[in-house]
Amino acid sequence: MSILDFLNFYLIPGVVLGSIYALGAVGITLIFAILRYAHLAHGDLATLGAFLAFAVVTGFGLSPLAALPIAMILTAGVAVGIDKVFYEHLRERPKIVTVMASLGIALMVRSVVQVVWGVDAESYVRGIVRPENYFGLRIKDREIYTVVFMLALVGGLQLFLARSKWGKAMRAMSDNPNLALLSGIDNKKVVILTWVIAGGLCAASGVFLGINTELKSMMGWHMLLPMFAGAILGGVGRVEGAVLGGLIVGIAEELSVLVLPSEYKAAMAFAILLFMLLVRPTGLLRGKVL
Amino acid sequence: MKSKILAIAGGLLAATALASATAKAADVKIGLIGGVSGPIAAMAPAMIDAAQLAVQQVNEQGGILGGDKLVGVVGDSACNPQGGTDAATKAVNIEGVVGIVGPHCSGAVLAAAGSVTIPAGITVITPSGTSPEITGLKDNDTVFRTVPSDDYQGRALARTLKGMGYDKVAVSYINNDYGTGLANAFKSEFETQGGEIAGYAAHEDGKASYRSDLAELAKGGADTLVIFDYGDGTGLTILRQALENGFFEKFVGGDGMKSEAPIKELGAENLSTFVASSPVGEKSKSLDMFNEAFKASGGDPSAIFVTTSYDAAFLMALAIEKAGGDKAGVSAALREVSNGEGEPIMPGEWKKAKELIAAGTAIDYKGAAGDENFDANGDVPGTYALFKVAGDGFETITEMK
């Protein structure tokens, strides 16, 4: 196998897949850091985002990339709504109750998608796109968009968390909610903000998965395990860790085919998850929560 | 507060009890379990419509048993073992069905049969569960199918491809009972015929990227990829990524790939080198009668597995009538109504069949998909054809022997 083959068929697909996982993993890690529970409806929220973008694409004839911001805003709204209706009154109860509730939300969101858009596979653009050749590297435009957008979104989020007033409030609440409350931070607003960001990132990961493959009602659910693996691998509560973790999981899945029979590809994320929890549960970048 | 909840719960229970009591008096229920969601979601509606057509014909022509209404209760197997078991449990324990038509996917059939219907003694006729595994099931003669086993399809496809000049192929199959059974049969026959399998690998359902899988398969140097998967599911993703990256030039699919989805999503212009095999009804008077009736009810008779679905439902109705509604007798009665001996019954001839059964005359159902004479394992022989993409649909290239 030449080095170009390795890059084209193993590494580049891995990076693209990893970017999609990373977008979801960042949302998971944020929710873990601020609200302290595993949000199992994350995958299906991504599906919803992808299909909302699909509705915009078919309804207004926009390109999927133009539909992305609209889908992100809509999904963020849905995420905030779900929090208000289902999770808010469970806030003081043991966290496991909310985790289970989020599993129920996952099923509900998926069913809504299936009722509204049906269960057939759909795609944003009909037909196939052959990759461009860059000095032997075969890359499609949409793969470049995926990676660039992921980096831009996460970079923006990092800046926001580090510099802005509300970003600092989020970090404060992540460190110690009671202390944050005492120092005058409105916890409710921080929670809403968290859901807006997580919902938007969720939609982005769903849309990019849809752009790179097809839209299916189960697409997000299948991504849930790799996204969690990415978040835990990078260190729960660390945004840059989630990006790193997501990329590693994506690349590991694609590279696993070189050494393992391909039917075990799906087990790769699971293996990484188990291994990390055994060896270094705090994650590569030493997460703040676990 | 507590007493209020209790009162509401009690009220609900009473309401459902009443509802099911009234339903039981007049309805004979059969379960129609299919992959409504999941990878064959695009095929399932037509299949269920075809089965419902049989149910409708029964009701229009005097109903079942003493003029009762036959009701097809639709359940979703999601095309996987868990879904199949759940749907079958619900059909058997809650709906109280006399027999089940379905589930649609092999894995769902095996799981539902093993954990639900065989212990409960309910007869199952699957219209599309094609895995060779189903043949060997220890089922007390309760599991039947109106679709031929993939052992035959895999071998016929291998012979046909070899005959058409495909000498070196790579095989990618979905890691479930359907894919494995079909791929094994194909591989053994293709090699026996002197062809070369230059890559052979299973893949897991529902991943976002299969490019590394495809790159591994392409290493063997084959220009043809044989995909045993579902065209609405992962099969579509694999076909897309193989086309986009130019890993292979020619593509061959099994019956699961003969779906509208690849044409709709990838465009017919990109699928000029794609062929797929599929069971076809042998030309017969029965098939014409079914086609006419299905067209009249708004269905597309050329959709995949509609003939087998119709036959399964009609046979189930005949067997229930013959057994007098006794679910333990359905499987024996099923063999009696289609053993090749007796007055022939064509699709839709419910009234005639009912009269003959009442008179004690032997009948033999001649189905739309074939004669449906079950062998000792509850299997039927089949006819296959190879299809290519033409316009926005499929067109027959050749019969497969």
Contact B19, B88 (CB under 8 A): no
Rounded to whole angstroms, what are the CA distances from A244 to A22, A99, B112, B259? 7, 25, 42, 39
CB contact under 8 A, B207 and A255: no
- List per-residue pLDDT tens for chain B, 401 residues long: 455 665 555 555 555 544 444 444 468 999 999 988 878 888 899 999 999 999 999 999 989 988 899 999 999 998 899 999 999 999 999 999 999 998 999 999 999 999 999 999 999 999 998 888 899 888 889 999 998 888 888 999 999 999 999 999 999 999 988 899 999 999 999 999 999 999 999 998 888 889 889 999 998 999 999 999 998 889 999 999 999 888 999 999 998 898 888 898 898 888 999 999 987 767 888 889 999 999 999 988 888 889 999 999 999 999 999 999 888 899 999 999 988 888 999 999 999 999 999 998 999 999 888 888 898 888 988 778 899 998 888 888 888 87
What is the edge-to-edge ordering of all strands in the sheet holding B196-203?
B196-203, B168-174, B224-228, B250-253, B274-279, B384-390, B393-400
Contact B170, B187 (CB under 8 A): no
Residues in chain B: 401
From the candidate CATH numbers 3.90.320, 1.10.10, 1.10.3720, 1.10.3470, the one assigned to the domain spanning A3-121+143-279: 1.10.3470
H-run or E-run covering B28: strand B27-34
B151-281+383-400 architecture in CATH?
A: 3-Layer(aba) Sandwich (3.40)
Query: Touching check for A1 and chain B: CB below 8 Å?
Result: yes
Spatial distance between the Cα atoms of A65 and A58, rounded to a whole number of angstroms: 13
pLDDT of residue A268: 86
**Which residues, including other chains, have CB under 8 Å from residue A43's CB and lie 6 or more apart?**
A24, A106, A220, A221, A222, A223, A224, A227
CB contact under 8 A, A128 and B243: yes
Cβ-nearest to B212 among A214, A257, A264: A257
Q: E-strand spans in chain A?
A: 132-134, 137-139
Helix (H, G, I), strand (E, B) or coil at B201: strand
The full set of domain ranges for chain A reads 3-121+143-279
Q: In sequence order, which ranges of A164-266 are alpha helices (DSSP H)?
A: 165-175, 177-182, 187-212, 219-234, 239-259
Q: Tell me the shortest Cα–Cα distance from A115 to chain B, in angstroms.
A: 10
Q: Tell me the shortest Cα–Cα distance from A97 to chain B, in angstroms.
A: 21
Q: CATH classification of B24-148+284-365 is 3.40.50.2300, yes or no?
A: yes
ipTM: 0.82
pLDDT per residue over A119-153, tens digit each? 888 889 888 888 888 888 888 888 999 999 999 99
Assign A108 a pLDDT band (cuts: 50, 70, 90).
Answer: very high
pLDDT of residue B24: 46
Which residues 221-240 in chain A show a CB within 8 A of chain B?
222-223
**Which residues, including other chains, have CB under 8 Å from residue A108's CB and lie 6 or more apart?**
none
pLDDT of residue A81: 96
Which of chain A's residues have a Cβ under 8 Å away from the Cβ of B215? 5, 8-10, 257
Q: Tell me the shortest Cα–Cα distance from B175 to chain A, in angstroms.
A: 7
Q: Tell me the shortest Cα–Cα distance from B63 to chain A, in angstroms.
A: 33
CB contact under 8 A, B270 and A222: no
The full set of domain ranges for chain B reads 24-148+284-365, 151-281+383-400
Which residues 115-154 in chain A show a CB within 8 A of chain B?
118-123, 126-131, 138, 140
pLDDT of residue B23: 45
